[in-house]
């Protein structure tokens, strides 16, 4: 590649800036040049168009925005000042719409959108957008399609048949079978209806509709979210600490009041969720009693040499667990922990949260007790206090240091408290050994420890995707143990489980309850939520006096979903095969590895029918049999709730403010996920669709024939939840869409829904986030210094129990062998410009055209490399090729790759519709993706990648790589 081509490909802003500057100067010095307006020149005239409140879908934060529309086109996007994800402080709901504009225009209230929010709406009109229902022509993955009429499409997928001249394929009607078992020899798998497997995107506001109305009407157990490729190890670590592997609750800092913030494996203002809110919070606090550290392998926008309050701590990719263990060791050994807090065994007048630090753990197997379980008498967990053995619920304070013998029923039982279990584990390695494995300098470590000593329960922790490594679950759990030891859950300046949301599913209308709804049962195809010991495979081995371990492939009973394994397991037909794969805006191939997923999907004998709901042909849906176009951005419905980063209640509304270009069903509804599911449900005769499908609180019945029938009622539920004490101004709601339909749905309450729609949702006031001495919304369960569920769960390959506390474990394959000892460790990090959701935006390439392979300049020099060299990164038989970018702000053992470039879908590859070529946009293909070099783990099955060994999340951080030079471009 020539230097000129490199400069063009890298999209260097200096060249682009010089060009546009020169063009502007020419216009200035040529007064005869005509402009559209004497005042506004060729810029957007603020007098034209109308603003509507909505939600941005540029990333998974889903911020509230205001969208300016004219002639069914988006002119501009600005922040919504009522939304706590776009403003801080945000406007009280009683503030009039007129005043909201005045306050923002005068600079008295600030509301923003990020780079994505400003530009990503151009994907609405991308040439690669799919607007018709497509059926593949030829083999899977050839990207050749023909359009098919909606009615014919529904008939084919419902009834099945020889749809592709490849043999008979079951349709939905045949798979909807709640009479026969999938496998007579393994009844635990459930009924044949589980032959439908659904893989969904993240919750962008429509997940409840898909799950409650379709999945639980069809009755399949197989519904999978995207977290296995996103933040599952972090979420599972939080579930362990919060002692809830069912609901998977989430923790975030009280950004407004913490005094030292440790961003562990995350980088506010660069990534994390809520991305923009976190960055704004920290920016606001820099001059107001906040210090913070960002612990990542690469220097990001979260820290700057110009700031005296933010510090970047360089860590080796994959080293986070060892740093957390080191901090735990010193927090315990130096008695920095809150002993009084840890001694509380339930909630009382002195504390707003509590732990199981004093619970007694059985240390061996006995006649009436198993090793690893809590000591119980009459099902009551026992602790020790000054009076002796007592149940935890009847005890106010207990001894957290007990390590001894308890005699029960003439049996001497060795026990230790949860706290002692943790203490012993974190002291298993020397501090020097832990720091060496972390790659963090002693100086940086001592800085962190001193700040923890100083601020104690005003120290808060944020963590996210940097924990996506093979030991990521224990990494996240270890970081959160620091929260437990400092005792700051539910406290002002500490950690919060979030302010919650308004109820959209029940209230005036019962949207999750309907006659005929099925509670799915059986075992999921991704082998999660149920233990291997519940299977016939295990029981038959026991019956035949065989060692039941190992299982054929690993099981993950503590995990809520593994979308990647749903595909690979189904292709391998273990635990069983599926008949239909239905994906919704899911892109497993790009998020994990293109070739591995392709190998599972391209052969239709492995997964007979694959239907993708997707507005673009992405890296995964290109292997589908049919593609159903979805709505995009501001054509879409939804009720979106923030993650735990918001401490007060909030629910954002999204409703169509643009007309969709998609083909229509016979009832004149544009094809999208919601309308497709309704039409499919009606054609199948499923409960919850069509006539009398929705009930109100008084038992009256209403039809569900179109998406607005559902979502407008959900808006009413939200508006009424917690009361409605706002004054409605008729002028604010008179020009909103869906007025007449809302009025027909609820003559009594329709104006209340419109009031909230005008403001983009319903948002609790900021002052509702706090009580006098604590957060207003508190987490009620005990936090787990030791997790009994974890300790009693066996690895299905070895039969050994997992550790109930975090411990020293290097990155490893599932069979317990060490992953590698290569010195250079690859990692990915989130872009502040791109996300995996914005590949179809061409305008974002104006801000950043490509990404690079990044190395410390000293490391590059040792390898004989220099900036702009063309290099390859190799792992086993996989490689990626890209341009080297050298820098000082990266760990010397790290190879960094910004996430979200190097696309092959969403217009990055040629495809044909009805014989017409839609040529690829080469700019979308630029750059590199770490997903393409994630190592395989054959122990997990064919086409499976390395993953967290406890919860199965894709591991894309900290694996070893080799770098080789191809050529010099400099």
| Residue 253 bridge partners (DSSP) | 495
Say yes or no to pLDDT of 78 above 90.
yes
Q: Is the pLDDT of residue 23 over 60?
A: no
pLDDT at 30: 46
What is the band of 1 on the pLDDT scale with cuts at 50, 70, 90? very low
**φ, ψ for residue 149 (rounded to 5)?**
-65, 145
pLDDT of residue 226: 82
Least confident of 66-70, 106-110, 838-842: 838-842
Is the distance from CB of 785 to CB of 357 less than 8 angstroms? yes
Work out the average pLDDT over 712-739.
95
In sequence order, what are the beta bridge partners of 52?
67
Mean pLDDT for the chain overall: 91
Per-residue pLDDT, averaged over 213-221, amounts to: 96
In the predicted structure, residue 969 carries a pLDDT above the cut 70:
no
pLDDT tens for 633-670 read 999 999 999 877 789 999 999 999 999 999 999 999 99
pLDDT digits (tens, 9 = 90+) for 749-779: 999 999 999 999 999 998 899 998 899 999 9
Q: Is the pLDDT of residue 492 over 90?
A: yes
Q: Are 883 and 868 in contact (CB under 8 A)?
A: yes
- The pLDDT of 384-409, averaged and rounded, is 95
Two tokens, residue 9: 């490909």
| Residue 304: band (very low, low, confident or very high) from pLDDT cuts 50, 70, 90 | low
Q: In what order do the strands lie in the sheet with 196-200?
A: 223-224, 196-200, 580-584, 609-613, 626-628, 134-136, 144-147, 911-913, 916-918
**pLDDT for 310:** 83
pLDDT of 28 above 50? no
Q: With cut-offs at 50, 70 and 90, classify the pLDDT of residue 31.
A: very low
Q: For strand 388-391 and strand 73-79, is the pairing parallel, antiparallel, or unpaired?
A: unpaired
For the stretch 270-289, pLDDT in tens is 777 777 788 788 877 777 78
Return the minimum-mean-pLDDT range out of 33-47, 113-127, 332-346, 455-469. Answer: 33-47
pLDDT surpassing 50 at residue 21: no
Average pLDDT of span 779-795: 97
pLDDT-based confidence at 899, cuts 50/70/90?
confident
Question: Cα separation of 660 and 427, whole Å?
Answer: 60
Taking 80 as the threshold, does the pLDDT of residue 941 lie above it? Answer: yes
pLDDT band per the 50, 70, 90 thresholds, residue 45: low
What is the average per-residue pLDDT within 47-53? 88
Question: Does the pLDDT of residue 528 top 90, yes or no?
Answer: yes
Instruction: Compute CA 789 distance to the chain's CA centroid, rounded to the nearest angstrom.
Output: 24
Average of pLDDT values for 492-500? Answer: 93
Q: Is the pLDDT of residue 565 over 90?
A: yes
pLDDT of residue 279: 79
Q: What is the pLDDT of residue 420?
A: 98
**409: pLDDT strictly greater than 90:** no
Q: Average pLDDT, stretch 579-595?
A: 91
Please state, in angstroms and rounded to a whole number, the distance separating the CA atoms of residues 389 and 395.
10
**Which residues, in sequence order, are CB contacts of 882 under 8 Å at separation 6+?**
851, 852, 853, 870, 871, 872, 873, 897, 927, 928
Paired tokens of 235: 């979420």
Residue located via tokens 């996103």: 230
- In the chain, pLDDT over 90 holds for what percent of residues? 78
Residues 630, 644 contacting (CB under 8 angstroms): no
- The first and second tokens of residue 641, run together, are 């709730």
The strand ranges marked E within 569-619 are 580-584, 609-613
Tell me: pLDDT of 13 over 70.
no
Per-residue model confidence (pLDDT) at position 11:
36
**More confident: 277 or 15:** 277
Q: How confident is the model at residue 395 (pLDDT cuts 50, 70, 90)?
A: very high
Lowest mean pLDDT among 262-276, 397-411, 605-619: 262-276
Cα-based angle 535, 536, 541 (whole degrees, multiple of 5):
110
- In this prediction, residue 578 carries a pLDDT of 97
Q: What is the mean pLDDT of residues 453-458?
A: 95
Residue 35's pLDDT band, with cuts at 50, 70 and 90, is low
**If you average pLDDT over residues 524-529, what whole number do you get?**
96
SS3 776: coil
Above 80 in pLDDT, residue 917?
yes
368: its two tokens: 């009436």
| Predicted local distance difference test score (pLDDT) of residue 850 | 87
What is the Cα–Cα distance from 246 to 237, expressed in whole angstroms? 13
Contact status, residue 506 vs residue 720, Cβ threshold 8 Å:
no
Backbone φ and ψ for 145, nearest 5 degrees, come out as -135, 155
| Confidence at 541, pLDDT banded by 50, 70, 90 | very high
Q: What DSSP line would sit under 204-234, residue for residue?
A: SS-HHIIIIIIIHHHT-S-EE-SGGGTTHHH
């Amino acid at each position: 590649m020539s230097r000129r081509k490199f400069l063009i490909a890298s999209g260097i802003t200096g060249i682009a800036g010089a060009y546009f500057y020169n063009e502007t100067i020419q216009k200035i010095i040529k007064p005869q040049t005509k402009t559209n307006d004497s005042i506004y020149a060729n810029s957007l005239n603020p007098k034209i168009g109308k603003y509507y409140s909505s939600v941005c879908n540029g990333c998974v934060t889903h911020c509230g925005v205001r969208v300016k529309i004219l002639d069914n086109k988006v002119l501009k996007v600005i922040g919504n000042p009522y939304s706590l994800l776009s403003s801080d402080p945000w406007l009280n709901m009683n503030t009039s719409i007129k005043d909201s504009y005045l306050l923002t225009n005068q600079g008295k209230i600030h509301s923003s959108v990020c780079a994505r929010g400003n530009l990503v709406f151009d994907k609405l009109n991308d040439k690669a957008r799919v607007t018709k229902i497509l059926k593949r022509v030829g083999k899977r993955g050839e990207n050749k399609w023909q359009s098919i009429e909606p009615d014919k499409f529904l008939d084919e997928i419902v009834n099945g048949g020889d749809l592709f001249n490849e043999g008979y394929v079951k349709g939905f009607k045949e798979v909807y079978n709640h009479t026969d078992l999938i496998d007579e020899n393994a009844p635990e798998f459930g009924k044949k209806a589980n032959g439908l497997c659904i893989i969904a995107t993240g919750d962008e506001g429509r997940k409840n509709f898909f799950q409650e109305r379709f999945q639980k009407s069809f009755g399949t157990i197989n519904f999978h979210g995207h977290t296995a490729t996103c933040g599952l190890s972090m979420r599972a670590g939080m579930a362990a600490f919060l002692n809830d592997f069912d609901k998977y609750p989430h923790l975030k800092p009280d950004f407004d009041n913490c005094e030292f913030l440790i961003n562990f494996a995350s980088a506010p203002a660069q990534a994390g969720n809520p991305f923009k809110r976190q960055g704004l919070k920290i920016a606001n606090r820099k001059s107001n009693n906040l210090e913070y550290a960002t612990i990542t392998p690469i220097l990001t926008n979260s820290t700057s040499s110009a700031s005296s309050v933010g510090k970047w701590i360089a860590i080796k990719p994959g080293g986070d667990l060892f740093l957390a263990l080191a901090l735990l060791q010193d927090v315990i050994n130096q008695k920095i922990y809150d002993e009084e807090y840890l001694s509380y065994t339930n909630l009382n007048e002195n504390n707003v949260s509590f732990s199981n630090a004093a619970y007694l753990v059985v240390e061996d197997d006995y006649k009436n007790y198993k090793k690893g379980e809590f000591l119980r008498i009459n099902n009551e967990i026992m602790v020790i206090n000054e009076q002796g053995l007592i149940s935890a619920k009847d005890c106010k304070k207990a001894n957290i240091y007990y390590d001894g013998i308890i005699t029960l029923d003439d049996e001497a039982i060795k026990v230790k408290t949860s706290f002692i279990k943790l203490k012993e584990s974190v002291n298993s390695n020397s501090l020097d050994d832990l720091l060496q494995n972390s790659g963090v300098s002693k100086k940086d470590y001592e800085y962190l420890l001193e700040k923890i000593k100083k601020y104690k329960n005003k120290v808060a922790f944020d963590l996210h995707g940097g924990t996506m490594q093979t030991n990521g679950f224990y990494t996240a759990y270890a970081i959160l143990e620091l929260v437990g030891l400092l005792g700051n859950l539910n406290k002002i300046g500490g950690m919060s489980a979030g302010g919650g949301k308004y109820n959209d599913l029940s209230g005036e209308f019962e949207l999750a309850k309907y006659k005929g709804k099925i509670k799915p049962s059986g075992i999921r195809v991704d082998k999660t939520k149920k233990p291997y010991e519940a299977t016939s495979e295990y029981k038959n081995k026991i019956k035949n006096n065989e060692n039941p371990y190992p299982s054929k492939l690993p099981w993950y009973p503590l995990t809520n979903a593994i979308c990647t394994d749903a595909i690979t397991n189904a292709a391998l037909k273990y635990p069983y095969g599926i008949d239909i794969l239905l994906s919704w805006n899911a892109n497993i191939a790009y998020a994990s590895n293109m070739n591995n997923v392709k190998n599972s999907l391209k052969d239709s004998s492995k997964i007979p029918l694959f239907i993708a709901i997707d507005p673009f042909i992405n890296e995964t849906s290109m292997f589908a049999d049919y593609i159903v176009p979805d709505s995009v951005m501001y054509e879409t419905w939804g009720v979106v709730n923030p993650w735990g980063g918001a401490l007060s209640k909030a629910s954002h509304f999204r409703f169509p403010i643009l007309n969709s270009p998609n083909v229509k069903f016979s009832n004149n509804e544009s094809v999208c996920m919601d309308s497709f599911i309704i039409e499919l449900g009606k054609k199948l005769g499923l409960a919850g669709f069509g006539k009398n499908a929705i009930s109100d609180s008084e038992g009256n019945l209403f039809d569900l024939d179109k998406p607005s029938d559902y979502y407008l009622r959900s808006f009413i539920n939200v508006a009424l939840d917690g009361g409605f004490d706002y004054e409605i101004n008729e002028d604010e709601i008179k020009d909103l869409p869906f007025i007449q339909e809302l009025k027909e749905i609820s003559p009594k309450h329709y104006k209340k829904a419109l009031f909230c729609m005008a403001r983009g949702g319903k948002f609790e006031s900021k002052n509702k986030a706090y009580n006098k001495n604590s957060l207003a919304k508190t987490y009620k369960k005990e936090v787990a210094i030791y997790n009994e569920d974890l300790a009693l769960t066996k690895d299905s390959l070895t039969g050994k129990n997992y550790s109930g506390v975090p411990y020293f474990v290097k990155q490893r394959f599932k069979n317990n062998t060490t992953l590698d000892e290569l010195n250079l460790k690859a990692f990915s990090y989130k872009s502040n410009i791109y996300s995996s959701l914005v590949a179809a935006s061409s305008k974002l390439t104006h801000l950043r055209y490509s990404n690079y392979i990044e190395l410390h300049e000293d490391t590059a020099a040792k390898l004989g490399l220099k900036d702009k060299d063309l290099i390859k990164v190799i792992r086993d038989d996989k490689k990626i090729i890209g341009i080297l970018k050298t820098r000082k702000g990266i760990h010397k053992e790290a190879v960094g790759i910004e996430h979200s470039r190097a696309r092959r879908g969403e217009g990055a590859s040629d495809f044909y519709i009805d014989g017409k070529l839609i040529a690829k946009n080469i700019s979308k293909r630029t750059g590199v993706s770490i997903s393409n070099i994630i190592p395989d783990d054959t122990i997990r099955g064919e086409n499976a990648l390395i993953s967290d060994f406890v919860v199965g999340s894709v591991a894309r951080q900290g694996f070893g790589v080799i770098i080789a030079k191809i050529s010099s471009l400099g």
